[in-house]
Amino acid sequence: MVANEKDRMPLLGHLQELRKRLLISIISICVGGIACWFLYDWILELLLEPYCQIRGASGSDSIFGLGCDLLVTDPLEPFSVRLTIAGYGGLILSVPMLLWQAWRFIAPGLLAKEKKWAIPFVLSGLLLFIAGAVLAYWSIPRALDFLVDIGGPDLVSVFSPSKYIGFVIKMIVAFGIGFEFPLLLIFLQLLGVLTPSALRRSRRYAIVGVVALVAVLTPSGDPFTLVILSVPMVFFYEIAILVGSLRNRKMRTEA
């Protein structure tokens, strides 16, 4: 559904608007990254907690003593880890601003009454991302357990900071992005790119596609993580169909 003629933009106007939204988004990520750079110690402790859980559950000590230490093998690795945490942390902290900029970019193509959904769009997107991140954080110790145990008792797992931190952050970001799936489908319906009937017809292919996408997005590759993210995304697919159907029914009633 498109807006009134006066709200339409020429192609050049759309490109300029896109550049503006991208610039604001990049600035917000940089600001969030600076904040995470100074909050590094606290964030690192939070990210180490899943590893500490499996260390404590196994009852074993670190090869360097008590605790859940990580093995640094490269003098540049501490700097790389801090940079990784700052970069991904800035991305996560800027999610509300990224959602707002996405809304501002697509708003000219919506009806006046649909433009009122700005706050619900940003809030629901933020809550969905947080829910995905929390689910990822909860599932990480279980994924680590699987990955550590599958090699057998003769293999001693000693993680490097860059590999472990990268694994944890990518899991959190993958789950957070995966939980934005219903918003994407709903707004593709608002823009007329998709319809509820088309989504219903493609349901079987969508389920296969969701499982394949989750397998690519999540770094662990274990079956537990595959199920724990695939099931909510399939559920969100059905929610998007329901929302689109209700919207179409309301439009027919008002016509």
How would you label 103-132 residue by residue, b for 16+ Cβ within 10 Å and e otherwise? bebeebbbeeebeebeeebbebbbebbeeb
**Which residue type sits at 80?**
S
**Is it the case that residue 147 has pLDDT exceeding 90?**
no
Per-residue pLDDT, 85: 94
Using CA atoms, how far apart are residues 121 and 112, in angstroms rounded to an integer? 15
Domain ranges for the chain, please list them: 5-250
State the pTM of this model: 0.82
Give tens-digit pLDDT for 203-254.
899 899 988 888 887 877 778 888 888 899 999 999 989 988 888 887 777 6
Q: How far is CA 77 from the centre of its chain?
A: 25
Per-residue pLDDT, 57: 53
Give tens-digit pLDDT for 156-209.
777 889 989 999 998 999 899 889 888 888 878 877 788 888 889 988 998 999
CB 40 within 8 A of CB 85: yes
